[in-house]
Chains A and B, each alone.
Chain A
Amino acid sequence: MMSYLEEHYELIHKTPRLFALHVTREQLLDTLHQITTHTSFDTLSQLTCTDWIEEERFELGYMLTNALRSHNLMLKCSIARDKVTMPSLALLFAQAEVMERELHEMFGIGFEGNETLYDFALEGWCDIPPMRREFDTLAYVNAHYDFREGREDNLDVKEEIKKRKAAAKSAKETPSGA
C-alpha cells in the first residue's frame, strides 16, 4: 500500500500512521481516483479548510482513511481565497456532500456538482462567511449585543500600580507635618 504512494507521490511522513501529500486543484480528482483504486485509502473521513489569509490562500485537507482504519492520508490542496470553486466529491464519497456543504457556508467555497449547498448551521446569514479570517467576531458581537451593566468600575491594574507608586513617592517627598 505504502510502496505505491512512495513510488508515485512525494509523501510526507507526519507520524508513523499519518501521511500527507500536496496536490493542485487540477490534479485532485485524478489523484483521488488513483489512490482509491491502487491503495486501501478509500474512505473520506474529514474535509478540512484552513484560512492562510496572509498568504492569500485556503488550504483544503482531504483526510483519507483506509478500510482497517489504521492509517490516515491527507491530501492538501491550496486554492486562492476568492472566486475559486472545487470539484465536488459527492459522486465519489456520499459523505462528502455534507462536508462540502459546511465548508461552503463557513468559508464561501463553491463545489461544482454538489446540489445541496444550501443553509447548513446558519439560517438566513448574509454577512461574509464566518470562518474566514477577515470576519471579526468581536466587532460582530459589539455591533449586535449589549454588555451587562454594572461592570464600568473595572480598573486597569497597571495604571493603578503606577498611581499608587506616584502617590507613595509624593508622600515621601512631602513628609507630613512639613
Chain B
Amino acid sequence: MERKVITIYHGPQHPGITGNMSVELDLMGETITRARTHVGYLHRGFEKLIERRTIIQAFTIVCRICVPEPDPNEANFALAVERLAGIEVSERASYIRVMVLEMARLGAQLLWMAGQSGSVGLGTVGQWSIYDRDLILDLFEQLTGGRVYHMYIYPGGVRRELPDGFLERLSALLDYLQKRLDAYDRLFFDNASFQKRAIGVGVVRGEEVLRRGFSGQVLRGCGFARDLRRDNPYLLYDQLEFDIPTQSAGDVYARALVRRAEMRESIRILRQVIAQMPEEGAIMQKLPKHRKFTLPKEDTYVAVESARGEFGYYMAGDGSEMIRRMQVKGPSLIHAFSLLEPLLVGEELSNVALIMNSLGICPPEIER
C-alpha cells in the first residue's frame, strides 16, 4: 500500500497548542516524520520599546513577557538594574520578593496542571486547579493591586507594604493547598489514564542534555538536579531549605512528577518565608534621581529559575536614562526549537499537545 505524507499545521488556533504558535507537522498516517516550530503570532517588540523608555517606564513592560508567571521577569529586571547601579535591597524586601516568586511559581504549576490534564482529556483537574490558582491570584490582588500583571518587584525593593493580616491569609491558603495536592494525586498524578498516556512519551535523555542548554523540569526529569535557586543563588534562596526533586525516566510522566514535588517544595519555602520574614524594615531603597535615573556604561547577566526553567536577562546600560539593550532568554526559546522539533519525530499526532505542555513551552518569551 502506498503511504502518503501529509503536512498539517498544529496551531496557532488549536486548544492543544500552548499559546500563539504553531507546529508544522509532516505526518505519515498518525506518525510524525518531521516537525517545525513557527512563531511570530505574538511579536510585540518589547526589547525595542524598552530602548525608548526610561528605566522606571521600562519596568512596567517586562512582566508582560510571560503571562502565566510574570514575576521572574520583574525580579530579573530589578536584579539587573540593581547590579548595574550598585543598589542594595533590604532583607525584608528580599523576603517579600521570594514570597512573590514562590506564590507565582505555585500559580504557574497549577495552571500547567490545567493544561497538561486538558491535553489528556481530564477536564475536571483543570477546573479545580484554575480555581485554586485563582485563590493565589486573590492574594496577589490584595498585595499588588493586580491579579495577573503585578508590577510589584521594583528596582530597589518592592512597591507596596504587605496589607494587614496578609501572612496569616497566605498561611491559611497554604494549609488548604497542601490538602488539595493530595486530591490532585488521586485525580491526576496517580490516575491510570494519565499514566497510560504519559509514561514513555516524549523521552529526553542522555549526557548531552546539559550541553544543549535545557533547563527546568526537562533536566530534572532526566536525573540532573539543576536549579538556579540552589546552583547560582539569588535573593535569599541560599538561606532557605528546600530540595530539588528529580526523576530519571525523562518522559512526560517524570516531568509531571517533578512538578508535583516542586509544588510541595514551594509550599515549604513559603512557610519558611512566613516564619523568617522580619516584621520591620524598609521595603524600598529610593532610586537616586528617581525619574532621571541613569545606568553606567556596563553590562551584566542575571538569571532566575522560573516555574518552567531558566529565565536569563542580559542588560547593558550606556550612561543615559534609557537601557541600551535588554535581551530576554526564556526557557522556551531552546525548548520549542532545538528540543521540540527532534522530539516530536516518531511520536503520534495525539501526543503533540501532551509533549508541548510537559515542556512548558510558552511563546511570549520566544518572541518578546
Binding site for B on A (CB under 8 A): 14-15, 17-18, 42-46, 48-52, 59, 61, 63, 65, 67-72, 74, 93-95, 97-99, 102, 119-123, 130-131, 133, 135, 137-138
Q: Which residues of A contact B324 (CB under 8 A)?
A: 50-52
Q: Which residues of A contact B45 (CB under 8 A)?
A: 130, 137
* Besides the known contacts A71-B232, A99-B333, 4 further A-B residue pairs in the complex with CB atoms under 8 A apart: A70-B231, A72-B301, A120-B367, A123-B40
Tell me which of B211, B228, B301, B333 contacts A43 (CB under 8 A): B211
User: Does chain A have a CB within 8 A of B169?
Assistant: no
Q: How many residues of B contact A (CB 8 A)?
A: 38
Minimum CB–CB distance for B359 against chain A, Å? 14
Show 9 A/B contacts (Cβ-Cβ < 8 Å), sorted by A. Answer: A18-B301, A43-B210, A46-B327, A49-B327, A50-B324, A61-B314, A120-B40, A121-B366, A137-B48
Tell me which of B40, B48, B300 contacts A14 (CB under 8 A): B300
- Contact in complex: A45, B48 (CB < 8 Å): no
Q: Which residues of A contact B318 (CB under 8 A)?
A: 52
Cα-based distance from A120 to B336 in the complex (angstroms): 13
Closest 7 CB pairs of A and B: A98-B337, A50-B325, A121-B43, A121-B367, A69-B231, A48-B314, A46-B329
Q: Which residues of B contact A14 (CB under 8 A)?
A: 300
Minimum CB–CB distance for B132 against chain A, Å? 31
- Contact in complex: B232, A97 (CB < 8 Å): no
Minimum CB–CB distance for B365 against chain A, Å? 12
Cα-based distance from A18 to B318 in the complex (angstroms): 20
User: Does chain A have a CB within 8 A of B1?
Assistant: no
Cα-based distance from A32 to B109 in the complex (angstroms): 37
Cα-based distance from A4 to B226 in the complex (angstroms): 24
- Contact in complex: B312, A63 (CB < 8 Å): yes
- Contact in complex: A98, B40 (CB < 8 Å): no
Cα-based distance from A43 to B213 in the complex (angstroms): 6
Cα-based distance from A70 to B226 in the complex (angstroms): 9
Minimum CB–CB distance for A125 against chain B, Å? 10
Cross-chain pair count, CB within 8 angstroms: 101
Tell me which of A44, A50, A119, A120 contacts B316 (CB under 8 A): A50
Minimum CB–CB distance for B326 against chain A, Å? 10
How would you classify the secondary structure of chain A's contact residues: helix, strand, loop or mixed? mixed
Tell me which of A18, A95, A135 contacts B213 (CB under 8 A): A95
How would you classify the secondary structure of chain B's contact residues: helix, strand, loop or mixed? mixed
Whose C-beta in chain A lies nearest to the C-beta of B333? A98
Whose C-beta in chain B lies nearest to the C-beta of A67? B210
Q: Which residues of B contact A93 (CB under 8 A)?
A: 211-213
Cα-based distance from A74 to B333 in the complex (angstroms): 19
Cα-based distance from A94 to B83 in the complex (angstroms): 31
Cα-based distance from A102 to B47 in the complex (angstroms): 13
Cα-based distance from A142 to B49 in the complex (angstroms): 15
Minimum CB–CB distance for A7 against chain B, Å? 24
Minimum CB–CB distance for A106 against chain B, Å? 8
Q: A45-B312, A50-B316 are in contact. Are A121 and B338 (CB under 8 A)?
A: no
Cα-based distance from A14 to B315 in the complex (angstroms): 13
Whose C-beta in chain B lies nearest to the C-beta of A68? B231
User: Does chain A have a CB within 8 A of B14?
Assistant: no
Cα-based distance from A133 to B48 in the complex (angstroms): 9
User: Does chain A have a CB within 8 A of B196?
Assistant: no
Cα-based distance from A81 to B334 in the complex (angstroms): 27
- Contact in complex: B325, A45 (CB < 8 Å): no
- Contact in complex: B327, A48 (CB < 8 Å): yes
- Contact in complex: B48, A63 (CB < 8 Å): no
Q: Which residues of A contact B215 (CB under 8 A)?
A: 69
Q: A97-B338, A121-B43, A122-B43 are in contact. Are A15 and B83 (CB under 8 A)?
A: yes
Cα-based distance from A138 to B53 in the complex (angstroms): 12
Q: Which residues of A contact B291 (CB under 8 A)?
A: none
Whose C-beta in chain A lies nearest to the C-beta of B334? A95
Minimum CB–CB distance for A136 against chain B, Å? 9
Minimum CB–CB distance for B308 against chain A, Å? 15
- Contact in complex: A120, B39 (CB < 8 Å): yes
User: Does chain A have a CB within 8 A of B160?
Assistant: no
- Contact in complex: B232, A131 (CB < 8 Å): no
Q: Which residues of B contact A123 (CB under 8 A)?
A: 40
Cα-based distance from A42 to B208 in the complex (angstroms): 10
- Contact in complex: A97, B337 (CB < 8 Å): yes
